[in-house]
Amino acid sequence: MNDPLFLLAPMDGMTRASFRSICFDYGADGATTEMIQSLALGRAKKRMSPTFMEVLVRFENEKNLAAQLIGSVPEMMAESARRLTAMGRFDAIDINMGCPARKVVGSGNGSALLLDPDRAVRVMAAVKAATSLPVRLKLRLGWDGEHITAPGLVREAENLGFESVTLHGRTREQRYGGRVDAEAIRAIVRSVKLPVYANGGVTCAGDALTFLRETGAAGVAIGRAALKQPWIFDDIARLRGGEAVKPRLAQERISLLIRLAALACRHRPERVAVCEMRKFCGWLLPGLTGAEGVVKRLNGIDALSAYTALLEDYLNELVRSNDVGVHPELTPDCTLDTV
């Protein structure tokens, strides 16, 4: 049996090349791009907008990277798959049938396809026939408790020769709340031979290993937990090796944020990239003394040099006061609700 894989799950607006690169440095076994709209790509002229091209960026250290394609028109999905294949920069194509966002399902895409299994299968077959790349599928258990369509769609994926499936253990109706049904995932894992990766509800490295054991999956895809702890992949490796998980001190957190901003500026306008770093600072700095004030000051910064200088000065203050640890009482219980 192959070693389990621990993957970074795609999250729209979050898992750009810069963030994926950080996760790969921490040991992620694979990742998927943000959503690529099949209508936009299929109809695009030769010169695509810079904003659209940002989603297609791949950094040097990214291995096992799939392009995430979303849509519900088989012909357009096929044309987009052909274009992605011709780019020669991705290792696979991943079809999104799991996104629960209202704007996505409102146009018949993402998890809306779970209500129309016939169309879902036509989309899957069209993409598979249009590319020489491996094809993957990401989906949820179903639309709601009355429409659990994942078992049949996973079998169709196997019949079509898909490489793997990532299965979120909730319905669209649940979105990101409620119990993740590990038993339902396990039943599907046992019903097919192709690799099934479990997704949903992981909050830390220990959770990921428990989830793996409960589902019998080929691995675990981790989404929102990685936003607050990109080192979760390293933590998993340590636990599997019998080591204790080490605390992530101020030096590591702040160095990570500085590097992430520099990477983001490689594929986004500097002002946009630095402003976007505010949310990452809001996730990674809490727990450090004085973090709240620093996050507020960062809200007025939109230049990489000023951002870097502020964080470096903050770290120097913490080092001088010998206060680089993370304090649980200063760490809010943040809830992330993102695609």
| Predicted model pTM | 0.93
Name 32's bridge partners.
66
Annotated catalytic sites, by residue?
99
CATH of the domain at 78: 3.20.20.70
In a domain, 133, yes or no: yes
One digit per residue, pLDDT tens: the chain, 339 residues?
Answer: 689 999 999 999 899 999 999 999 999 999 999 999 887 676 665 666 666 788 999 999 999 999 999 999 999 999 999 999 999 999 999 999 999 999 999 999 999 999 999 999 999 999 999 999 999 999 999 999 999 999 999 999 999 999 999 999 999 999 999 899 999 999 999 999 999 999 999 999 999 999 999 999 999 999 999 999 999 999 999 999 999 998 999 999 999 999 999 999 999 999 999 999 999 999 999 999 999 999 999 999 999 999 999 999 999 999 999 999 999 877 654 444 333
Q: Which residue has the tokens 């993370």?
A: 326
235 lies in the same domain as 310: no
Q: How many domains does the chain have?
A: 2
Write out the E strands in the chain.
5-8, 31-37, 65-70, 92-97, 135-140, 164-168, 196-199, 219-222
In a domain, 171, yes or no: yes
Domain that holds residue 174: 5-240
57 lies in the same domain as 150: yes
271 lies in the same domain as 298: yes
CATH of the domain at 263: 1.10.1200
pLDDT at 339: 33
Q: Which long-range contacts (C-beta less than 8 Å, at least 24 apart) are formed by 43-46?
A: 43/76, 44/83
96 lies in the same domain as 211: yes
197 lies in the same domain as 271: no
